[in-house]
């Protein structure tokens, strides 16, 4: 059955806190939500532009674990309207997220666009695949030229997603973005320095003649 993000996230204990804080009527009016279990072009474009995200899993002991995943922009691939996938690159070899997913396939992803102050939350079911289990998918999530060793594939079956408000997101920019913004200024500064040097040379020449 198609569900909205809050249909999954809002449990009886969440409702109890909402009642305590006086926001239950606000959120009750929004339930049930419009189904958000199919990614549109907007979500595809947003996901394809990200160079990192956070993924939360839960262990057999009930403890949550949040892990940062990073790579070149687009390493998290929208496969279709209900599927995402990424190559699991070798890291510190603790394998906590992978281990949790073998016992409980539920996961939540959190993607942030810091410059534009936008964030996307995704509930998904995790399926771990060996690199040779689906050669076409492995080829699709492989990042040419990226110097990292993939160990497996995370395939994520979408349950639901939700866009968050921009409150409290501090804009942050990558080195590449800052360099791109500064390049016109640097070029203008170089031109001015050249013009100033030529002007000084002419002034010096005029002074020598007088």
Q: What is the pLDDT of residues 88-145, one digit of tens each?
A: 998 888 999 999 999 999 999 999 999 999 999 999 999 999 999 999 999 999 998 8
* 77 and 143 belong to one structural domain: yes
| Number of domains into which the chain is organized | 3
- The CATH number that applies at residue 100 is 2.30.110.10
pLDDT per residue as tens digits for the range 188-199 = 999 999 999 988
Q: How far apart are CA 171 and CA 121, in angstroms?
A: 18
Q: How far apart are CA 87 and CA 176, in angstroms?
A: 24
Residues in the chain: 210
Confidence of residue 206 (pLDDT cuts 50, 70, 90): confident
Closest CA to 138 of 150, 147, 120: 150
Q: How far apart are CA 115 and CA 167, in angstroms?
A: 13
* 131 and 150 belong to one structural domain: yes
* 132 and 160 belong to one structural domain: yes
* 61 and 150 belong to one structural domain: yes
Domain of 204? 173-210
* Three-class DSSP category at 44: helix
Residues 6+ apart with CB under 8 A from 69: 52, 53, 54, 55, 76, 86
pLDDT for res 167: 86
* 86 and 150 belong to one structural domain: yes
Phi and psi of 42, rounded to 5°? -60, -50
Burial 135-150 (b: 16+ CB within 10 A, else e): eebbeebebeeeeeeb
* 62 and 130 belong to one structural domain: yes
* 11 and 115 belong to one structural domain: no
* 144 and 208 belong to one structural domain: no
Confidence of residue 31 (pLDDT cuts 50, 70, 90): low
* Three-class DSSP category at 83: strand
pLDDT per residue as tens digits for the range 72-89 = 999 999 999 999 999 999
Confidence of residue 1 (pLDDT cuts 50, 70, 90): very low
* 183 and 153 belong to one structural domain: no
* 45 and 111 belong to one structural domain: yes
* 26 and 40 belong to one structural domain: no
* 82 and 3 belong to one structural domain: no
Instruction: Give CA separation, 158 vs 38, 47, 59, 104, 105, in Å.
Output: 8, 13, 20, 15, 12
Residue 14: count of CB within 10 angstroms of its CB: 13
Torsion region of 108: left, alpha or beta (phi above 0 gives left; psi -120 to 50 gives alpha): beta
């Amino acid at each position: 059955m198609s569900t909205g993000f809050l249909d999954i996230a809002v449990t009886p204990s969440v409702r109890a806190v909402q009642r305590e804080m006086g926001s239950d009527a606000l959120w009750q009016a929004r339930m049930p939500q419009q189904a958000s279990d199919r990614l549109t072009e907007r979500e595809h474009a947003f996901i394809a532009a990200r160079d990192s995200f956070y993924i939360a899993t839960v262990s057999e002991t009930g403890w949550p674990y949040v892990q940062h995943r990073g790579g070149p922009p687009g390493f998290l691939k929208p496969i279709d309207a209900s599927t995402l996938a990424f190559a699991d690159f070798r890291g510190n070899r603790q394998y906590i997220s992978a281990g949790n997913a073998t016992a409980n396939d539920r996961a939540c992803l959190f993607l942030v666009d810091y410059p534009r102050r936008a964030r996307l939350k995704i509930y998904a079911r995790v399926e771990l695949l060996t690199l040779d289990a689906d050669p076409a998918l492995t080829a699709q999530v492989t990042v040419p030229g990226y110097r990292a060793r993939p160990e497996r594939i995370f395939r994520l079956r979408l349950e639901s997603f939700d866009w968050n408000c921009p409150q409290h997101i501090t804009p942050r920019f990558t080195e590449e973005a800052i360099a791109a913004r500064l390049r016109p200024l640097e070029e203008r500064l170089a031109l001015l320095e050249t013009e100033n040097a030529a002007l000084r040379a002419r002034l010096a020449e005029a002074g020598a003649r007088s």
